[in-house]
Amino acid sequence: MDTIASEYSAESSTEDDSDKHCSEEDVVQSFSRPVDSRSSAFAILVMGMTGSGKSHFISRLTNGQAKVGHNLESCTPEVARHKLVSERGQEIYLLDTPGFNDSHTSDTSIVVSIALELERLYIRHNLQFAGLVYLHRITDQRVAGSSRQSMRVFERICGEKNYPNVYLVTTMWNLLDPKTADKVGQSREKTLVEKDEFFGSMSTGGAKIERDYGDQGSAREIIQQIVKQKSRFVTTLQQEMCDSKKKLVETSIGRLLEKDMDKIQDEYEKERKELSSALNDAHRNQDASS
């Protein structure tokens, strides 16, 4: 059985993008900080609300190299990529996404950031996923509307066919009152799993339900389960945007967030152009110095 190496090599990176939507030319031209896209390499997407424990989860796997926040402001302003190495030498890329319902970053910007990163991984690096992780605090007494919306966005990114590769992780079990933790935690977990408005649809579709107790062992065990998975896949959002050539507004997320999609599409196109301009400047500077 393959396991995660005890010492991690980790890095956080973002890349310049191109204004050519899923262009084959990008595959050759724009590797500013390439990932290792050998057949053994794969990615794991980590999503959740701000404060759900995403960065803390990843920090325990990367020897503290992922910044951990202690308030309701996301410490991941855009998608960060962290590299782990298994004992067999597999390259594993954890994608730490910005949290929804953040005080400084709009949900619109977060959707754009995630869409750009997924497009980049698929087209430029041919890097597929082994698992998709969604984190939710077990300490929450109720599930807010913003949290339900975050779950729906996650569902649309994944796609129903990928539910068997989804890991729904309730976090912060260690923060429950020890005297009532089992009863209270199990009751909340049961509600999450059974109701379609929460995890119900994904659970019925084959998603795994896991618990995170805040220690390194919990995080490591979840990742090891994913490492053992044989299947590799791309998300529905990647297929819609890159294979079917749909604009972001035309994807399943676009239909979900229809009232905000004009703003989302405008921001998406603006960010792509800014990244393209930065990439062109870098190329010109490189040519001038050579």
Domain boundaries, the chain: 35-289
Q: What are the structure tokens assigned to 226, written together?
A: 């994913």
Residue 276 confidence (pLDDT): 72
What's the pTM value of the predicted model, to 2 decimals? 0.79
Task: Residue 158: name the closest of 166, 169, 146 by CA.
Answer: 166
What residue ranges in the chain does DSSP mark as E strands?
A: 42-48, 80-85, 91-96, 129-137, 166-171, 208-211
CATH of domain 35-289: 3.40.50.300
Cβ-based neighbours of 117, under 8 Å, separated by 6 or more: 79, 81, 95
d(CA 48, CA 151): 8
d(CA 289, CA 108): 39
Residue 262 confidence (pLDDT): 64
Residue 264 confidence (pLDDT): 62
Q: What is the mean pLDDT of each run of 10 residues along the chain (290 residues)?
A: 48 47 30 49 96 93 64 60 87 92 80 93 94 98 93 97 98 96 96 98 98 96 92 97 94 82 67 72 69
Place of tokens 């053994």: 40
Residue 78 confidence (pLDDT): 83
How many Å from the N-terminal Cα to the C-terminal Cα in the chain?
48
